[in-house]
Amino acid sequence: MFQVSRQQCEDMMRMAMGTRESSSANPHGNLWPAQKSGANSNSTLEEAFSSLLTGIVCDALANALGRYVLDILASKGLLDDSDNPKQFDRGLQSLFGNGASVLERIVVKDLYRKLSIPYNSDAGFDYEKSLEAAKEVCFVESRLK
Amino acid sequence: MSGGEILSTLLASEVRGDLLILFHKNPGLIDTVDGIARRIGRTTISVISDVRELLQLGLLKQERIGASEVVFLDRAKDREILELVANHLKTVRIGGEN
């Protein structure tokens, strides 16, 4: 019902907030770019991870609370920080209070599902650490390719 | 109930978050509580109180079909609820005060 593609989400963010460059999602539909040699390979991976995360955050918010709410959050600049866990967490806390952690769990669960990482909802939860773990998996996977 | 209170009710637990996602992704879904619990990978006992809260809020409706009590999304009420939430969020500033 509220499914939002990564591209739609990024377009929405650009419309709402201005300038950010388009992501480096590769044309083959893989989550990760093949590992390049040289200094910019890490930043390419960072960008790919950031793009994936932004898409998932948008989907999670739209699916939980609707497209209209997503538009409002984008216009408030919340999604500017979606790849910065500390800032994003602070923004979510100020808007949703205790509900922030529920939204963060939804994001992490979806991210882990996409990356085939097991998720345990009974375990303690730390948004930043969860994203770090996911990023680590992505980096390791891309090096193995 | 204010938009803020509704938002707190909607996001009061991880199960409620899962239920919101399930019904928003499948707005035509009609199932028993057992079936709904299975769909989100949980047990009936762990979802029953959250389903009740969403029934009380009006987001979900319950009806008897044959021998089964089924639950489904009230789309009109859902739109109304999300609009209240959106209007509430418009008034909240990121970083704190209204």
Residue B97 has pLDDT above 80, yes or no: no
Write the pLDDT tens digit of every residue in A88-104. Answer: 899 999 999 999 999 99
Domain contains A93: yes
CATH number of the domain residue B18 falls in: 1.10.10.10
Residue A28 lies in a domain: no
Does residue B90 lie within any of the structural domains?
Answer: no
Q: How many domains does chain A have?
A: 1
- Tell me if A24 is assigned to some domain: no
Q: Does residue B95 fall inside a structural domain? A: no
Q: Within a domain: residue A32? A: no
Chain B CA closest to residue A101: B14
Q: Which domain holds residue B65?
A: 3-85
pLDDT at B95: 72
Minimal Cβ distance to A63: which of B21, B85, B90: B21
- A8 pLDDT band, cuts 50/70/90, is low
Q: Report which of A69, A66, A70, A50 is spatially closest to residue A58, judged by C-alpha positions.
A: A70
Res A16: pLDDT: 46
Residue B28 lies in a domain: yes
Q: What is the domain extent for residue A117?
A: 6-18+37-144
Residue A69 lies in a domain: yes
Residue B61 exposure: Cα atoms within 13 Å on the Cβ side:
13
Question: Is B18 an 8 Å CB contact of chain A?
Answer: yes
d(CA B98, CA B93): 6
Tell me the nearest-neighbour CA distance from B65 into chain A, angstroms: 25
End-to-end CA distance of chain B: 18
Q: Which residues does B53 contact at the CB level (< 8 Å), separation at least 6?
A: B9, B12, B16
Q: Is there a domain that residue A72 lies in? A: yes
Domain count, chain B: 1
Q: How far is A113 from chain B (nearest CA, A)?
A: 13
Question: How many Cβ contacts (< 8 angstroms) between chains A and B?
Answer: 79
What pLDDT, in 10s, does the model give residues A25-70? 444 445 555 555 555 677 788 888 888 899 999 999 999 999 999 9
B55-67 pLDDT per residue, tens: 999 999 999 999 9
C-alpha distance from residue A132 to each of A25, A53, A127, B25, B81 (Å): 20, 12, 9, 28, 35
Report chain B residues whose CB lies below 8 A from the CB of A121: 14
Q: Which residues of B14-24 are buried (b: 16+ CB within 10 A; e: fewer)?
A: bbbbbbbbbbb
Smallest CA–CA distance, residue B60 to chain A, in Å, is 14
Averaged pLDDT of chain A: 78
Report ipTM (2 d.p.): 0.90
